Structure 1
């Protein structure tokens, strides 16, 4: 199948099936990008998601643009964003026009309430997956400490997710730089000792 057609089908599918929008679409995009078409691995997807959260605008659109660009350059980004937005936009106009006339119906209310637990489970499974990935590099204890700290910043202090991600990215960069310099210094000292011997 041609890459542009893959991009079109993948993002049209995630756009149409992503009921609830925003974060609920991310597991669907992950399925298309990582498992179905293998445009990237799960670690790359996690990094892309973290960086996309620091930028303004809808997360699903940013993810579509980046993944489309990664696969087929600027035209791939345009195809991905269009494929992601257009079907749901057309459906939204048609369905909302129909549902608006039945907005007080218990059937419509039941539909919305019935799909909410499914979205909650999808997001919970994705959160667990990211926690497992984090614990591989950090260890379980540090992953849990950082997860609790992030929860406090987001829920108690109500900081914007972009600010929290920026704090964590900056801290990780500083720590990695410090650790890298320390390792280089230790290696240099060891080489010096070996030369003296």
Structure 2
């Protein structure tokens, strides 16, 4: 039964998410914490941190880690397949029809209409993570320092992860 619930939950996430992995995070949070109570918010933030540090898309990594936490290896497989299935089907359909309609003003309007939604979902994910990881002045300093290094100094994200980890060890 848990595998069916996992599949349906992550299939819904895959169907109703536009804009990539970060846009999926609020939907994942709603499904696994609020609706089903499979994990708590602290565990969710920890899984997000691991998902960001491991190679691959964050949504797939999150689905895999969450599925494993909830249902073991089979749960990981089920969650991962469920979250990628809608994208795979949609991309195949779009590829087939986009050639025919790529100059359509309606298609252009549709994609322009999705942009604000995607920005909102990504902002929601950023706020969620910030609220649960910036717990004191030290974590705020690390956050601002890494934001500056990535945004303005264009340091590689992997290097920034190492720097943030080192700062965490030193400051805590």
Same fold (TM over 0.5): yes
Is 1:116 paired with 2:112?
no
Q: Which residue of 2 aligns with 1:31?
A: 30
Q: 1:59-70 maps to which residues of 2 (within 5 A)? A: 59-70=58-69
Q: Which residue of 1 aligns with 2:5?
A: 6
Q: What stretches of structure 2 of length at least 5 have no aligned partner?
A: none
Over alpha carbons, which structure has the higher Rg? 1
**Structure 2 residue matching 1:158: 3-state secondary structure:** coil
In structure 1, what is the Cα distance between the partners aligned to 2:77 and 2:110? 33
In structure 2, what is the Cα distance between the partners aligned to 1:125 and 1:87? 22
Match of 1:152 among 140, 148, 152: 148
Q: Which residue of 2 aligns with 1:85?
A: 84
In structure 1, what is the Cα distance between the partners aligned to 2:49 and 2:81? 23
Is 1:94 paired with 2:93?
yes
Q: CA deviation at 1:77?
A: 0.5
Q: What stretches of structure 1 of length at least 5 have no aligned partner?
A: 177-197
| Contact 1:39 1:71 (C-alpha < 8 Å) held by counterparts | yes
Is 1:164 paired with 2:160?
yes
Aligned residues: 172
Q: CA deviation at 1:160?
A: 3.2
In structure 1, what is the Cα distance between the partners aligned to 2:95 and 2:30? 27
- TM-score, normalised to structure 2, is 0.89
In structure 2, what is the Cα distance between the partners aligned to 1:107 and 1:149? 43
Q: 1:174 to 1:148 in 2, by over 3 A?
A: closer
| Contact 2:67 2:75 (C-alpha < 8 Å) held by counterparts | yes
Greater alpha carbon shift after TM alignment, 116-125 vs 145-154: 145-154
- TM-score, normalised to structure 1, is 0.79
Q: 1:165 to 1:27 in 2, by over 3 A?
A: farther
| Cα deviations by residue, 1:65-117 (Å, 9 ceiling, x for unpaired) | 11000011111101111111123212220133112311121211111111111
Higher relative contact order (CA 8 A, sep 6+): 2
| Contact 2:67 2:79 (C-alpha < 8 Å) held by counterparts | yes
Instruction: Compute the RMSD of aligned alpha carbons.
Output: 1.8
